[in-house]
Structure 1
Amino acid sequence: MSYLKYTPYFYLVFAAFFVYDAYEKWNMPNETPYLSLFIAALGVFMFFFRRNFAKKMQNRNPKS
């Protein structure tokens, strides 16, 4: 189960992708980047939430 400590970093990858997507949409007249920015912010939030939750679980059960 050591792969679970790397899964929060996928949220950062998704957030970086959606920041890039918002950057690309910013100068297009018919596109709005707000949904992409919201998803990027959600990805960053989920990264910190999952990392904090994993630390709590590790401190609770030090055998795993």
Structure 2
Amino acid sequence: MKYSKIFQYAYLVFAVLFIYDGISKWNNGTQEAYVSLALGVLAGFVFFFRRKFAKKLENRNNSK
């Protein structure tokens, strides 16, 4: 279970990196900014989804 928390926060790190990359590409005027921003939003969504699912699983295991 400890490894899943590490990977969970890795998604958050990737989200920040992709959003930073997208903003820097946007300022340069390139079209690849949209791809980086979309990947950043997707990684952020996966972080929050995995965190919610892990808490739900932990609550289920603690209630038994």
TM band (smaller chain): 0.7 to 0.9
Q: Deviations over 1:23-50 (max 9, x none)?
A: 2211223x22111111111111111100
Aligned AA for 2:45?
F
Where structure 2 has 5 or more consecutive residues not aligned to the other structure, the ranges are none
Corresponding residue of 1:56? 56
Query: 4+ residue stretches of structure 1 with deviation over 2 A?
Result: none
Q: Post-superposition shift, 1:5? A: 2.0
Corresponding residue of 2:18? 18
Aligned AA for 1:48?
F
| Matched positions, count | 61
Where structure 1 has 5 or more consecutive residues not aligned to the other structure, the ranges are none
Percent sequence identity is 52
Provide the TM-score with structure 2 as the length reference: 0.82
Provide the TM-score with structure 1 as the length reference: 0.82
Instruction: Give distance in 2, aligned partners of 1:2 and 1:27.
Output: 39
